[in-house]
Amino acid sequence: MTTHKKLPTTEKRNPRSERIDEQSTLEIVTLINEEDMLVPQAVAREQKRIAQAVDMIVTRMRAGGRLYYVGAGTSGRLGVLDASECPPTFGVKPSLVQGIIAGGRRALVRSIEGAEDYPQDGAEAIDKKRVGPKDVVVGLAACGVTPYVHGALKRARRLGAGTIFVTCAPESIDSIPAEIVINPVVGPEVVTGSTRMKAGTATKLVLNTLTTTAMIKLGKVYGNLMVDLRAVNNKLRDRSVRIVVDVTDLSRRRAQALLRRAEGRVKAALVMHYRQVDLHEALRILDETEQSLRRAIGDAKRL
């Protein structure tokens, strides 16, 4: 096998899969699965840096800041995906967590790989979002060197924003313009350079952890229940009722009636129940306690 010491890990050949095209279907599936098992271990080695990144995000969000993901190709799509899941899951405004992808919205459904080659476009995307000192920008690039992402991060740093970078290539760390670099090293891909595989999985795990932990710290979760969810479909409406039933021990019928009085707001409904107040007062109490349900209902209920 030819070695490429200067190549990022994400572009190197994986010796285990050099003859994968000669293997049986089951052997291929087994090999891919065995390689995928390396991903959680690689992410686990980055726990301290991920925690540092969460603390940065939470501090700035509490000051009124926003979180932006910036990437190209698979990495960019994963950033947009994670951002789009935050409003229904945690009841936040769509502007709080946003994804920026090289090539714009068309790149979400069609490969526009050339869009990643221009750092000035990344910088312009940051300017269009009016990123400022309260915000955090997370660069996403499996190889660590994507010009569009570097351009965005450099502009964000000049504007005083917090900067984080997620890459699977340890060779690129020294050139990355970010305060915190999260580097889960998953090794070469089964199909050389196909970073939608292990690198994509690692990136998805990191992003899930960043936003989920941040939202827990911001009071969007009570126990392990998503009490700030937005019930925008039947599944989530049913989940809302189940959460109220679980926390209050009310019957399903009474939980539904309580939610109607709370205009579908789970957290407010729980404050109304435990503090015996109307919706207006429940919302005031939540504002007073920085949206912490645990603080809002005090000792009335403990999970």
Cα(134)–Cα(113) distance, integer angstroms: 31
Quote the percentage of the chain above a pLDDT of 70: 96
CATH of the domain at 203: 3.40.50.10490
Asked whether residue 129 falls in the same domain as residue 249, the answer is: no
Cβ(272)–Cβ(266) below 8 Å = no
Considering the candidates 35, 46, 116, 189, report the single residue annotated as catalytic: 116
Look at the chain and report how many structural domains it folds into: 2
Residue 292: partners with Cβ closer than 8 Å, 6 or more residues away: 219, 286
pLDDT given at position 125: 97
The pLDDT value recorded for residue 300 is 59
Q: Which two tokens stand for residue 136?
A: 């955090």
- Residue 208's alpha-carbon distances to 2, 50, 109, 129, in angstroms, are 36, 11, 21, 23
Work out the widest C-alpha separation in the chain, in whole angstroms: 72
Quote the distance between the C-alpha of residue 280 and its chain's center.
Answer: 32
The reply to whether 194 and 55 lie within a common domain is yes
| Mean pLDDT, rounded, for 151-164 | 98
Q: Using CA atoms, how far apart are residues 199 and 67, in angstroms rounded to an integer? A: 22
Residues 166 and 105 in one domain: yes
Whether 138 is covered by a domain: the verdict is yes
Strand order from edge to edge, sheet including 162-166: 97-101, 67-71, 136-140, 162-166, 180-182
Q: Is the pLDDT of residue 23 over 60?
A: yes
| pTM exceeds 0.85 for this model | yes
Average pLDDT over residues 168-175: 94
Give the bridge partners for 222, in sequence order: 225
Alpha carbons 201 and 10: distance in angstroms, whole number = 13
Q: Do residue 79 and residue 45 come from a single domain? A: yes
Where does the pLDDT of residue 299 fall: very low under 50, low under 70, confident under 90, or very high at 90 and above? low
* Mean of all residue pLDDT scores within the chain: 93
Contact 184, 206 (CB under 8 A): yes
* R_g of the chain, CA atoms, integer Å: 22
pLDDT tens-digit series, residues 24-33: 999 999 999 9
- From 165, 190, 217, the end of a domain falls on 217
Tell me which residue range forms the domain holding 292.
234-300
Q: Is residue 10 part of a domain?
A: no
What pLDDT is recorded for position 222?
93
- Residue 250: CATH number of its domain: 1.10.8.1080
Percent of the chain with pLDDT over 90: 86
Average pLDDT over residues 133-152: 96
Active site residue 116: yes
- Whether the per-residue pLDDT at 230 is higher than 90: the answer is no
- Closest of 210, 67, 83, 203 to residue 143, by C-alpha: 203
The reply to whether 98 and 58 lie within a common domain is yes
Q: What's the mean pLDDT in 42-53?
A: 98
**Shared domain check, 249 and 164:** no
Distance between CA 10 and CA 167 in Å, rounded?
A: 9
Confidence of residue 298 (pLDDT cuts 50, 70, 90): confident
Q: Tell me: do 260 and 159 sit in the same domain.
A: no
* pLDDT tens by residue, 50-107: 999 999 999 999 999 999 999 999 999 999 999 999 998 998 999 999 999 999 888 8
Per-residue pLDDT, 98: 98
213 or 229: which leads in pLDDT: 213
In this structure, the answer to whether residues 77 and 114 fall within a common structural domain is yes
| pLDDT digit string, tens, across residues 123-138 | 999 999 999 999 999 9
Q: Is the confidence at residue 284, as pLDDT, over 50?
A: yes
Q: What pLDDT shows up at residue 197? A: 96
Instruction: Report the pLDDT value the prediction gives residue 263, as an integer from 0 to 100.
Output: 92
Residues 114 and 70 in one domain: yes
Flag whether pLDDT at 238 surpasses 90: yes
Q: Do 134 and 254 reside in the same domain of the chain?
A: no
Residue 32 maps to a domain: no
> Are residues 151 and 252 part of one domain?
no
Mean pLDDT for the stretch of residues 272-276: 95
Residue 18: alpha-carbon gap to chain centroid: 33
96 and 211 co-located in one domain: yes
- Which position has the higher pLDDT, 302 or 39? 39
In this predicted structure, the answer to whether residue 3 has a pLDDT above a threshold of 50 is no
Query: Which of 85, 124, 179, 281 is flagged as catalytic?
Result: 85
The Cα 36–Cα 150 span in angstroms is 28
Q: Does residue 5 lie in a domain region?
A: no
